[in-house]
Amino acid sequence: MKNKDNFKKAMDNIHAPEDLKNRTFQKIKDKPKNNLIFMKVLSACAVFAIIFGIGAYYNGNPDIIGLSNNSKSKNVADLDLPRFENIDELKKVLAKSSSGYGYNRGLVYEDAMFESVDSSVNSGGFNQSLKVTDNAGAASSNSNYSTTNVQVEGVDEADIVKTDGEYIYLVKSNTIYIVKASDLKIENKLILDEDDDDFMPEEIFVNKDKLVVLGTNYIYDDDDEDDEYDHDYYYSYYRYNNSKTVTEAVVVDISNKNKPKEERRVTLDGYYVNARMIGDNVYFISNKSVYYYDEDCDDDDILPVYKDSVKSKDVVTIPAEDIIYFGGTRNYTYMLVGGFNVNDKKEASVETIFGASDTVYANSENLYIVQEKYTSLGNTKSVIYKFGLNGSKISLKAKGSVKGYLNNQFSMDEYEGNLRVATTSDVTGISKNQVYVLDENLEKIGALRNMAIDEEIYSVRFIGKIGYVVTYKEIDPLFVIDLSDPTNPEIKGELKIPGYSSYLHPYDETHIIGIGYNTETNNWGGTVNKNMKMSMFDVSDLENPKEVFNIDIGDEYAYSEITSNHKALFYNKDKNLIGFPVTFGKRYYDDSKSGFVIYKIDLDNGFKVYGEITDKTDYNNQPERVIYIGDNLYTIFEDEIDSYDLETLKKKDEVVFSK
Amino acid sequence: MVKEDEMQREEYLKEAINNYSDMVYRIALTRCGNKENAEDIFQEVFLKLSEKMPIFENKEHEKAWFIRVTINLTKNLHNSAWNKKTTALEENIVFETKEENDVFNTVMGLQQNYKTVIYLFYYEGYKVKEISEILKTSENTIKTWLSRAREELKEKIEGGFEDEE
């Protein structure tokens, strides 16, 4: 009997106790109004009301209520930004967050004061003067090689594969491969561990001679280095528990591919969330969970750290007084945002907020980070932090919030200084969708509410004055929203077709491509995916959007990363080609085939299959990206790269990475 | 599904408890390491379901929701003071064979992320890509967790979890 079979048998023997099931059912069967969790929250609110009450009434601004008056200023630049008074205040807040909430523990909840006043209050902008320089337009769509499919032109997004037209750089496990595109020769392999740690690259940027690797590192606190290797200790939970997870941006000079040289390492506490590169400036974000035991805990255990190798060799603890805190949040997480220039040695700019980050959107001037919060009434709201980007310097400019949660980064877009946000909210079990327009201080100036009741947003794309929103329950309405008057967004047109698009890609001024699924109703009245499909929408008449043609892709088991990650898109505007990785075949069976599909776009004749390279049957060698460089096409799998002639699709070369 | 309808709501919740209770409990137990916290997490997961009554595209989507919520809810637990009042798992779960006992306890000894992927991969039968979607973590990270978990298991228990048939 194999260990894994014994594991299965052991697991099979574990069942939820019947009385636990019964107790749970009794608790949840009534609507949330009457059940226990609500009572708990209510009593919690009462406590908070007492503590915060006075402040709230005098302050008049419920979003900046804290345990103490937070309006102190540290220096001129930080005027008006509320921060912790000292470590004791931080500890008090953490203690509040971790006590007395029973079932709510661990979730990012907000105290009810917020909501009872207005579910979408804004604290507005801060009086900081910040010069904004426009450095957009760096990436050119006319280059003769693929660039990562990004949301905003000129704002690069990190990915697992990048090319500079000559080399292909890719992340595989703990290694970055540098592969020469012309002959698929592995030029070099980079492992960026330092000493004893375990650096895991997640995504990369390429900036001329610089490779920027974003990854996670685990720093272990092994104090006795001279000790003999102790196997039990090495793999112990104790050791893991005392390790620190950090996010690192490593700048590597790759001017000589045979001798890549690490130049710099910027470290932020916590897990990697997201990154952007604008010109030579890299911005990256991490989330750090706070481990709070009791008031006797070490300050070092609850404060986040950072490090910039140009400044120091050791990590620096960020003092409580530097952490931005808006009060009223029960929370366990810090969000750290770092910015630096890949070509200079100026110390990285780091800002820390008491809160977590979920969704990130950036244009060339501003970086928006959204945190999802559960309010006491069981609703979700999205708190938006707006950072101004000025070279490598980042500074918080405004904070606001809207009802509901975001589908993904495409749910946000800034246009003429206003942020448009599309959200789905679900208060009573019936979901609703809305589009808000917020001004530069994140004050709400316009809203379109109650769109597509009982449906959920599946994809969004804002293009200039127009917003396109796909909602879905059984059929896919594509809404065309006119945002030319930001104070009065309105639905112009609507198109209902079966299925849904989970990614919208602008094709030209009057056409949008949607990629998603066809769906059908099953015997039980539910809807299930029928097959993947790609559609071309004509939006030249805003009031009458039309699906001009579409193509079915595979069957119900077809899957493509493009449905959840826009970076998986292959797009060649010159040759009118669009493509993505796919896996066909049944799950749990080994007869799946995977690879890539590429279609020729022809507005008169529809999508035509240009190439289907789907002959891989090894489930452990999944397709990742397909890119082009000049006249060559490269299909990149987990364990290999194959090159083809872009015109004839004749295979030219391949390289297999050893496992 | 019309959620206003009390009866339908109750029916749905009952069905959800029946369908997912074992899985939720197994994940909670694997991650908490003790029954007391696992039971609390279990209740919290279904409370969250009843609060949110999310609309699922299909069964897979529904199942993924339960996995993700259970894991998220256990994330902060091991830092809490709660853990002090719990009993060790070995005291109240006994399996039929020593082999089962050994392998279960070995897996339980792995760190959170490792044992979670071991559970999802070997017990639930998910592929790396699917786990990465469920956990909203890059595939690369999942692969690493899985291979390190396997390495560790190989060190700790004869034969490890090798894939060769």
Q: Which residue has the higher pLDDT, A344 or A232?
A: A344
A154 within some domain: no
A659 within some domain: yes
Residue A225 pLDDT class (50, 70, 90 cuts): very low
Q: Are residues B17 and B85 in the same domain?
A: yes
A638 within some domain: yes
Please list every residue in chain A whose beta carbon sits closer than 8 Å to the beta carbon of residue B49: 28
B27 within some domain: yes
CB contact under 8 Å between A1 and B133, yes or no, is no
Q: Which residues form the domain of A655? A: 560-659
Q: Are residues B81 and B147 in the same domain?
A: no
Q: Are residues B79 and B141 in the same domain?
A: no
CB contact under 8 Å between A7 and B123, yes or no, is yes
Whole-number pLDDT of residue A126: 55
Q: Are residues B100 and B77 in the same domain?
A: no
Task: Quickly list DSSP for A327-352.
Answer: SSEE--EEEEEEEEETTS-PPPEEEE
Q: Which residue has the higher pLDDT, B162 or A340?
A: A340
Residue range A320-343: mean pLDDT, rounded:
86
Q: Any idea what DSSP says for residue B40? A: H
Interchain CB contact of A9 with B (< 8 Å): yes
Q: Are residues B99 and B49 in the same domain?
A: no
B144 pLDDT exceeds 90? no
For A556: left if phi > 0, alpha if psi spans -120 to 50, otherwise beta; the answer is alpha
A284 within some domain: no
* pTM assigned to the model: 0.70
Q: Could you say which of A2, A526, A564 has the minimum Cβ distance to residue B133?
A: A564
Residue range A15-32: mean pLDDT, rounded:
81
Please list every residue in chain B whose beta carbon sits closer than 8 Å to the beta carbon of residue A24: 17, 42-43, 46-47
Judge whether A330 and A97 are in contact, CB under 8 Å.
yes
Q: At A566, which CATH number?
A: 2.40.128
Q: Are residues B130 and B85 in the same domain?
A: no
Pairwise CA distance, residues B164 & A646, whole Å: 38
The structure tokens 């710099």 sit at A264
Q: Which residues form the domain of B85? A: 1-93
Q: At B129, which CATH number?
A: 1.10.10.10
A88 pLDDT exceeds 80? yes
Pairwise CA distance, residues A143 & A630, whole Å: 9
Lowest mean pLDDT among A404-408, A450-454, B20-24: A450-454
B62 within some domain: yes
Whole-number pLDDT of residue A621: 81
Interchain CB contact of A453 with B (< 8 Å): no
Q: At B21, which CATH number?
A: 1.10.1740.10
Domain stop point among B37, B68, B93: B93
- The SS3 call for residue A97 is helix
pLDDT digits (tens, 9 = 90+) for A122-133: 445 554 433 333
Domain stop point among B93, B114, B133: B93
Domain stop point among B78, B93, B108: B93
Q: Are residues B77 and B110 in the same domain?
A: no
Overall number of domains in chain B:
2
Please list every residue in chain A whose beta carbon sits closer than 8 Å to the beta carbon of residue B54: 426
Mean confidence (pLDDT) of chain A: 80
A539 pLDDT exceeds 80? yes
pLDDT digits (tens, 9 = 90+) for B148-160: 899 889 888 888 8
A603 within some domain: yes
CB contact under 8 Å between A28 and B58, yes or no, is no
Whole-number pLDDT of residue A38: 32
Q: Which of B6, B11, B17 is best to mutate for the A interface (most A CBs within 10 A)?
A: B17
pLDDT digits (tens, 9 = 90+) for A349-368: 999 999 888 899 999 999 99
Judge whether A394 and A388 are in contact, CB under 8 Å.
yes
Pairwise CA distance, residues B38 & A69, whole Å: 39
B164 within some domain: no
A580 within some domain: yes
337-396 of A, contacting B, C-beta below 8 A:
378
Structure tokens at A136: 């957009």
Closest chain A residue by Cα to residue B43: A24
Interface size between A and B, measured as CB pairs under 8 A: 183
B85 within some domain: yes
Judge whether A154 and A138 are in contact, CB under 8 Å.
yes
141-200 of A, contacting B, C-beta below 8 A:
160, 171-174, 200
Cβ within 8 Å of residue B84, ≥6 positions away: none
Structure tokens at A425: 């909210």
CB contact under 8 Å between B156 and A293, yes or no, is no
Pairwise CA distance, residues A211 & A215, whole Å: 13
The structure tokens 């006075």 sit at A54
Q: Are residues B150 and B77 in the same domain?
A: no
Sign of the torsion formed by the C-alpha atoms of B22, B25, B31 and B36: negative
Overall number of domains in chain A:
1
Please list every residue in chain A whose beta carbon sits closer than 8 Å to the beta carbon of residue B25: 14-16, 20
Pairwise CA distance, residues A334 & A317, whole Å: 13
Q: Which residue has the higher pLDDT, A237 or A624?
A: A624
Nearest to A386 by CA among A415, A349, A421, A419: A419
Q: Are residues B110 and B129 in the same domain?
A: yes
Please list every residue in chain B whose beta carbon sits closer than 8 Å to the beta carbon of residue A3: 99, 103, 153, 157, 159-161
Q: Are residues B41 and B108 in the same domain?
A: no
pLDDT digits (tens, 9 = 90+) for A277-299: 999 999 999 998 776 666 677 78
Cβ within 8 Å of residue A137, ≥6 positions away: A153, A154, A364
Q: Which of B55, B90, B136 is best to mutate for the A interface (most A CBs within 10 A)?
A: B55
Closest chain B residue by Cα to residue A24: B43
The ipTM of this complex is: 0.91
B118 pLDDT exceeds 90? yes
A630 within some domain: yes
Three-state secondary structure of A130-181: CCCCCCCCCCCCCCCECCCCCCCCCCEECECEEECCCEEEEEECCEEEEEEC
The structure tokens 């590597």 sit at A252
B2 pLDDT exceeds 50? no
The structure tokens 């137990």 sit at B29
Nearest to A383 by CA among A64, A66, A49: A64
Interchain CB contact of A238 with B (< 8 Å): no
Angle at A64 between CA A63 and CA A67, to 5 degrees: 125
Q: Are residues B86 and B119 in the same domain?
A: no
Q: Are residues B60 and B139 in the same domain?
A: no
The structure tokens 């209902």 sit at A496
B165 within some domain: no
A641 within some domain: yes
Whole-number pLDDT of residue A293: 63
